[in-house]
Structure 1
Amino acid sequence: MHEVARRGSIGVLVAILLLAEPSVAYAGGGKGKGALNGAEAHGGKKNGKYHAEVSHVQITAGGDRGGKTVKLNPKDPDWEAPACWYEPKTTPKELKEKIESAKPEKRKPEKDEDSGTIFGDLEESNQKAADAVANQVVGLYENYYQTEKYDDYNIDKQGKGMFWEGVRNPNKADDPKADACSEHAIWVPKGKPPKSMPLAVSPKILAQYAYEELPIPGTELSLNPENKQTVNLDTWVWLNKGKFKPVDVTASLDLLDGTHLSATTTAKPTSLTLEPGTDDAKTYPGSGKCVVKNGQLGEEYSVGKKDKTPPCGVRYLRASGQNGSYPLKATLTWKIAWKGSDGSGGDLPAGTFSTTKNMTVKEIQSIVRD
């Protein structure tokens, strides 16, 4: 059969088999550790859609993951973490068992409550047709890995390398772009990482994946005055120094030959941009962009600063009206950099997260006495 007809990964084979037997899980059958918190993840169906087994990449957070965290929005709208990549997944023996276990006769038949009825006969007929298709597909893969491309799944090379397979980014399990890693499992000799394989796992890919796992705290503003803003009175704005500090995440993967790949992605807060929500306001500084100074974004207010101008803040020039408010938008920008276990490294697109706080601004009430 023409090569085009055989294109696709083991995952495509399993997707077809899933149509024949809805209860069948991913042919790999094993339990893989998820990327976060050691959560177990399997292949199979999710929300009615086929999804591949997750990556073996492990995530370790260097910062405090306590409390609510948020995901950054890359400033570069065209940048995104890879939806998939290739990594070592199976030995020759495991691949052979994986494919052979997908044969219909290897699966346990389920009890059919409609047996003997017209519905039962129809279901049996459909199952036989599906099994026939499944056997044909399994046969194609058996031929490919037994004779056409390899010699009996490279069993004689057991321990001398691994088959690399496409895996989906756990955060993009249903992303169609993950189909970019849909080639057949590819044999890679021990100690010879693939240089020409597209999207082969590397420190840079690990760093890009880790970008999405950064434990970024939600942008919670500290204000003074906190709840009662007054026309022509400065409001000081700052961020908690202990909470808004550099955070990092390490993504790592151990290969069969003892090679350890990892990348640490670090995020550092660099600026806070204030948008008052009305033209009748003044920001400090005038650009509205507060930068880090002495490791602090903004400056905490104290009584001794009563007559000083805030380095980061806002002054409203008009009351927000009865039962009204101004939406003060605060956007925190984080600089992102990474460093790989092989000495590689660089910058990734800066990321932002925005929050809005409704500001009620009142006029100063005064009493005139005769």
Structure 2
Amino acid sequence: MQGLKRHTIGVAGLVTALLLAPAHSAFAGGPIDKGTTTTARENSRKDDTLYAAVSYDTSKNGSGPSVGHVSTAGTSWTPPACWLAPKWTARQFAKQMESEYKNVTTDPNQPNYAKNATSQLREMYKNGEYKNYNVDKQDEGMWWGAVENPNAPILERTACNSTLPFWAKNGETPKVKNAISPKILAGLAREQIKVPGTEVTLAPSGTTKVNLATWAWLDHGDFKPVSVTASITAPGLDIRATTVATPVSLKLQPGTEDAETYPTSGECTFNSDGSIGEPYATRRAGQTPPCGIKYLRSSAGGAYKLQATVTWEITWTGSGNTSGRMPNGTFGNDQDVRVQEAQAVNH
């Protein structure tokens, strides 16, 4: 790997941040979620297309009218604000640098320090540490640079701009901080995960009675693992990670303190066939449901907001035999439950 150094930037770094990664530039490469696979992206690639954009395969993601992103409470985990990735071929980089050099140095409105810094950068990449932007090595490597995560806070996105663009040979992953990796891609894939909403089946449905056990269940097939694969490819380089969300339990919150849950914790686990609880049947009248609620007070003509929330276990596997776990996520819905007083029967 040629010339991989952590440069002290000063003014030059500020100019690089402005010139090489402006939002309006064709060289701004952030995640694009179009549900496309890497193969589709490569087949449609043009000579002036950046390599740094992350490709997502969302074909195995959750679907339906009430899907949503899992939330992660009680953790400091956040997706990366930026990373370093292969962005330009040698010819692309040369074209970009020469264009920006001309634009800045011939603009009478540019201050002298900006013109000087731009000239110094051009000298380094054209006649200094590198020779003519490594154009004679066009097929041997790529220029790596900073890529901002458009979903991150705007003030954090420039954290990677302290590293100037550098050259790396094809198939080589530079050992530098924030270099794109399966772990980073797994976090980006997690941002794209969607899971189905949760509406449990209740018996009695709609309206129940005070002190009557209400059975709750989710049928087999309603919930199953979902996944998203994130990848980034360049000549000789293919880095990818698949993040999987697997349902592990259902939490019932009655919407009032005047209620009891089954089990007592309100946490119903999935059965081996992917279902939760058991459907009510007349022969089970009077039995305690494996998953359910008993309301102790009527809803007085209104309705309680029963919240059914599924916890999803998040894991990932990536290229290079990498793998890991992320904090569990949750997603759920509210549904109305009306509770009436039990009517006494006089004989």
Q: Tell me the TM-score normalized by structure 2.
A: 0.82
Matches within 5 A, 1:209-288: 209-257=188-236, 259-288=237-266
Output the CA distance in 1 between the equivalents of 2:119 and 2:292: 69
* Residue in structure 1 matched with residue 121 of structure 2 by the alignment: 141
Matches within 5 A, 1:1-370: 3-8=9-14, 10-13=16-19, 25-28=24-27, 34-38=32-36, 55-63=52-60, 65-67=62-64, 68-102=66-100, 128-130=108-110, 135=115, 138-172=118-152, 174-182=153-161, 183-195=163-175, 197-257=176-236, 259-294=237-272, 295-322=274-301, 324-366=302-344, 368=346
SS in 2 for 1:357: strand
Q: What is the letter of the counterpart of residue 344 of structure 1?
A: T
State the 1:291 CA deviation: 0.9
State the 1:351 CA deviation: 1.0
Output the CA distance in 2 between the equivalents of 1:300 and 1:214: 29
Deviations for 1:254-305, whole angstroms, at most 9, x for unmatched residues? 2212x32211111110011112122211100011111112222222223333
What are the ranges of 5 or more consecutive residues in structure 1 without an aligned counterpart? 19-24, 40-52, 107-126
Output the CA distance in 1 between the equivalents of 2:30 and 2:21: 19
SS in 2 for 1:74: coil
State the 1:352 CA deviation: 1.2
* Residue in structure 2 matched with residue 44 of structure 1 by the alignment: none
What are the ranges of 5 or more consecutive residues in structure 2 without an aligned counterpart? 1-7, 38-49
SS in 2 for 1:171: coil
State the 1:56 CA deviation: 2.1
Contact 1:269/1:334 (8 A) holds in 2: yes
Q: What is the letter of the counterpart of residue 95 of structure 1?
A: F
Output the CA distance in 1 between the equivalents of 2:199 and 2:156: 34
Deviations for 1:73-124, whole angstroms, at most 9, x for unmatched residues? 1245201221221111101210111123335759xxxxxxxxxxxxxxxxxx
State the 1:15 CA deviation: 7.1
Output the CA distance in 1 between the equivalents of 2:30 and 2:148: 13
State the 1:169 CA deviation: 2.6
Q: Does the C-alpha gap of structure 1 residues 321 and 356 become closer, same or farther in structure 2, counting only changes over 3 Å?
A: same
Contact 2:61/2:195 (8 A) holds in 1: no
Output the CA distance in 2 between the equivalents of 1:8 and 1:255: 27
State the 1:54 CA deviation: 9.4
Deviates further, 328-337 or 149-158: 149-158
Q: Does the C-alpha gap of structure 1 residues 333 and 210 become closer, same or farther in structure 2, counting only changes over 3 Å?
A: same
**RMSD, matched Cα:** 3.0
Deviates further, 277-286 or 134-143: 134-143
Q: Does the C-alpha gap of structure 1 residues 312 and 96 become closer, same or farther in structure 2, counting only changes over 3 Å?
A: same
SS in 1 for 2:10: helix
Output the CA distance in 1 between the equivalents of 2:313 and 2:112: 55
Deviations for 1:147-169, whole angstroms, at most 9, x for unmatched residues? 34422212222211111112123
Aligned length: 323
